[in-house]
């Protein structure tokens, strides 16, 4: 029997603690007049008890009626409160369910039933745990056990329920424990709000934030989140692999067939990588236009990452057919594998990017494996390439002159200007460290003009001081300088400004540069010779020269490569040319 006592728990939740219309009446808080004990088991019993009480009052006279007046007021307040609770319970848009300590649903309102797709009668025959979503059941069961055991008074979570049709209902779930007057657990009251639409919207927004809109693969942000989390969890002995993939010739597809076809090609590539690689548990992400990255966790050695790279190349080897176009796709992949502990995402991606560059430089359609020694050399070259443009302005280059002596009489015949770079970090660098960098970055013409200008100025001073020496100045000329349309004008301007006689300047070209001259470069060599400048071939014999071709070029001097002259004149040497 439900009993309402003065000093009990007051307020609406005290009324909501018990089922409505199921033989139990809520217990209410203290009233201003006396104690009220009720043994009625239903609202109908309460009405009958009230009617009986009224008859007794009439028989007892005015004195009895006056004595029972406070009790009648309390009865009316109780009925009014119960009516208000019923109105709130049945009409609430929020789903409300009341269950006993065994988890049996005693009462639910219509909103609760509608949300789950059951009738109220069906829900009264089921349990709370039967409605839990399987993926959330373990956590919800634990929370419910804490409640009915009295260890918690309330919980609030966002969890799924199962609708009758098997679909998921996402809810904002709040469950409160209602206790007896002595503190023992009595009922649980659950209130649920349907947040399925809000949750699905959040999931769509989250997906869009973490996935590439074209290929639906994880995007750069998600990749770095996963990589960072993986590295943060890494312990001693853990290893990680990374494959950085770039499609070969993708720009040509865009240029030839349009960006729409290029997008469809990217989608097809993504699908193949997802099917072949991601299905094995490796994260595949699109991180750029035609760049993809594959995260290989928990590797046991280099072979694990290499196997993934080989699988990616293999799956792209088969042509991709889109409409009437059959597109052949290849990729270059940079592979990095090593200890995860102590590694950071930035360094790992830099290593992968560097290795990808190697793969492309080696012919494409292949993978390259990271090599720390090679990487250090590459980073050094990259730093030199970045420092080179300003180095001329900062005056970091200098010239040294190597004497060329006439062996017959030991007299000084010529000097060769050799450029050096006094680098602020790497110290004094010879031309073998930076000339090819200058050629690759397009700065060789500017550096070459600086060398020509300063060398000719120095040679002109020597000529004025020692005119009878007729000292010839040799300056190296790169292949790009020979191809520069301004080369003849530049040389003529320097000679005119410095006052160095043209016949005292010798420009040296490599054998490969000479053999590549044709068209305008060849005409430039003839025009330089017409100025009176000497032309020479340096390290002759290291390439595949056609001697007949030399007849077309106004060459004055051949400087033989060292292998041609090594050992000549040495005791016991056979000076025979076959």
Long-range interactions of 376-380: CB distance < 8 A, separation 24+? 378/354, 379/354, 380/426
CA distance 190 to 171: 11
Residue 162, token pair as written in the block? 């199962």
Nearest to 473 by CA among 492, 490, 458: 458
| pLDDT 10s digits, 233-252 | 999 999 999 999 999 989 99
Residue 60, token pair as written in the block? 């007892």
Q: Which residue bears the tokens 């590539």?
A: 269
- Which residues does 336 contact at the CB level (< 8 Å), separation at least 6? 241, 242, 244, 305, 348, 351, 352, 355, 370
Task: Supply the angle between the helices 302-317 and 259-276 in degrees, to the nearest 10.
Answer: 130
Longest dimension (CA), the chain: 157
| pTM over the 0.85 mark | no
Task: Compute the residue count for the chain.
Answer: 578
- Which residues does 97 contact at the CB level (< 8 Å), separation at least 6? 105, 107, 108, 109, 112, 123, 128, 189, 190, 192
Task: Supply the angle between the helices 444-465 and 487-498 in degrees, to the nearest 10.
Answer: 30
- Per-residue model confidence (pLDDT) at position 552: 76
- Per-residue model confidence (pLDDT) at position 226: 96
- Asked if pLDDT for residue 432 goes beyond 60, the answer is yes
Kindly report the average pLDDT of the chain as a whole number: 84
| pLDDT 10s digits, 63-87 | 555 556 677 888 888 888 888 878 8
CA distance 86 to 237: 64
Q: Name the least confident of 394-408, 505-519, 542-556.
A: 542-556
CA distance 521 to 576: 37
- Per-residue model confidence (pLDDT) at position 26: 40
Q: Name the least confident of 38-47, 265-274, 286-295, 436-445.
A: 38-47
Mean pLDDT of the 161-184 span: 93
CA distance 110 to 209: 38
Mean pLDDT of the 46-50 span: 44
Q: Name the least confident of 9-23, 223-237, 281-295, 312-326.
A: 9-23
Superfamily of domain 95-199: PAS domain (3.30.450.20)
Grade residue 516 by pLDDT with cuts at 50, 70 and 90: low
CA distance 98 to 81: 18
Nearest to 374 by CA among 361, 388, 364: 361
Grade residue 560 by pLDDT with cuts at 50, 70 and 90: confident
- Asked if pLDDT for residue 145 goes beyond 70, the answer is yes
Specify whether domain 211-370 bears CATH 3.80.10.10.
Answer: no
- Per-residue model confidence (pLDDT) at position 41: 38
Grade residue 556 by pLDDT with cuts at 50, 70 and 90: confident
- Per-residue model confidence (pLDDT) at position 520: 66
- Asked if pLDDT for residue 11 goes beyond 90, the answer is no
Grade residue 38 by pLDDT with cuts at 50, 70 and 90: very low
Residue 269, token pair as written in the block? 């590539």
If one compares 106 and 483, the residue with the highest pLDDT of the two is 106
Instruction: Identify the helix (H) or strand (E) that includes residue 115.
Output: helix 110-116
- Per-residue model confidence (pLDDT) at position 545: 57
- Per-residue model confidence (pLDDT) at position 228: 95
List, in sequence order, every residue forming a beta bridge with 291; answer none if it has no partner.
246
Superfamily of domain 383-565: EAL domain (3.20.20.450)
If one compares 73 and 477, the residue with the highest pLDDT of the two is 477
CA distance 453 to 195: 77
What are the residue ranges of helices labelled H in 318-443?
345-361, 372-391, 431-441
- Asked if pLDDT for residue 307 goes beyond 60, the answer is yes
Instruction: Identify the helix (H) or strand (E) that includes residue 177.
Output: strand 168-179
CA distance 312 to 329: 11
Nearest to 421 by CA among 460, 380, 479: 380
- Per-residue model confidence (pLDDT) at position 571: 62
Q: Where are the domains of the chain?
A: 12-91, 95-199, 211-370, 383-565
């Amino acid at each position: 029997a439900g009993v309402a006592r003065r000093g009990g728990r007051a307020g609406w939740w005290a009324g909501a603690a018990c089922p409505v219309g199921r033989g139990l009446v809520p217990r209410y808080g203290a009233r201003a007049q006396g104690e009220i004990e009720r043994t009625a088991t239903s609202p109908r019993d309460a009405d009958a008890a009230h009617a009986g009480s009224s008859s007794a009052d009439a028989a007892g006279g005015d004195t009895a009626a006056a004595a029972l007046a406070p009790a009648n007021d309390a009865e009316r307040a109780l009925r009014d409160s119960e009516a208000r609770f019923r109105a709130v319970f049945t009409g609430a848009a929020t789903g409300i369910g009341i269950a006993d300590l065994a988890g049996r649903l005693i009462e639910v309102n219509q909103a609760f039933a509608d949300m789950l797709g059951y009738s109220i009668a069906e829900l009264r025959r089921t349990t709370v745990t039967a409605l839990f979503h399987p993926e959330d059941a373990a956590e919800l069961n634990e929370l419910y056990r804490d409640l009915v055991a009295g260890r918690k008074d309330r919980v609030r979570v966002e969890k799924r329920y199962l609708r009758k049709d098997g679909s998921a209902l996402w809810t904002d779930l709040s469950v409160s424990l209602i206790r007896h007057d002595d503190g023992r657990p009595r009922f649980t009251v659950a209130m649920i709000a349907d947040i399925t639409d809000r949750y699905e919207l959040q999931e769509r927004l989250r997906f869009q934030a973490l996935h590439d809109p074209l290929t639906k693969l994880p995007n750069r942000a998600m990749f770095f989140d996963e990589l960072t989390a993986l590295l943060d969890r890494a312990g001693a002995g853990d290893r990680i692999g990374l494959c950085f993939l770039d499609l070969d010739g993708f720009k040509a597809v865009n240029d030839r067939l349009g960006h729409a076809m290029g997008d469809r090609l990217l989608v097809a590539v993504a699908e193949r990588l997802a099917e072949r690689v991601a299905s094995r548990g490796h994260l595949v992400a699109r991180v750029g236009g035609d760049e993809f990255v594959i995260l290989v966790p928990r590797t046991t050695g280099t072979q694990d990452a290499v196997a993934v790279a080989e699988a990616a190349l293999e799956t792209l080897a088969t042509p991709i057919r889109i409409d009437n176009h059959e597109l052949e796709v290849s990729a270059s992949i940079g592979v990095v594998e090593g200890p995860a502990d102590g590694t950071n995402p930035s360094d790992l991606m830099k290593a992968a990017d560097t290795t990808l560059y190697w793969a492309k430089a080696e012919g494409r359609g292949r993978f390259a494996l990271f090599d720390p020694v090679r990487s250090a050399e590459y980073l050094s070259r990259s730093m030199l390439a970045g420092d080179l443009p300003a180095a001329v302005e900062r005056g970091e280059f200098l010239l040294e002159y190597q004497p060329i002596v006439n062996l017959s009489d030991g007299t000084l015949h010529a000097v060769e200007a050799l450029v050096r770079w006094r680098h602020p970090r790497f110290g004094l660098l010879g031309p073998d460290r930076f000339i090819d960098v200058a050629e690759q970055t397009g700065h060789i013409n500017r550096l070459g003009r600086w060398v020509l200008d300063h060398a000719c100025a120095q040679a002109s001073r020597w000529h004025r001081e020692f005119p009878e020496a007729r000292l010839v100045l040799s300056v190296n000329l790169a292949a790009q300088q020979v191809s520069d349309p301004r080369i003849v004008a530049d040389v003529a301007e320097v000679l005119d400004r410095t006052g160095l006689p043209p016949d005292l300047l010798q420009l040296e070209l490599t054998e490969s540069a000479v053999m590549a001259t044709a068209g305008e470069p060849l005409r430039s060599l003839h025009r330089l010779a017409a100025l009176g400048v000497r032309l020479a071939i340096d390290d002759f014999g290291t390439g595949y020269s056609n001697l007949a071709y030399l007849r077309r070029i106004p060459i004055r001097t051949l400087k033989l490569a060292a292998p041609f002259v090594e050992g000549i004149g040495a005791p016991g040497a056979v000076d025979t040319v076959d």
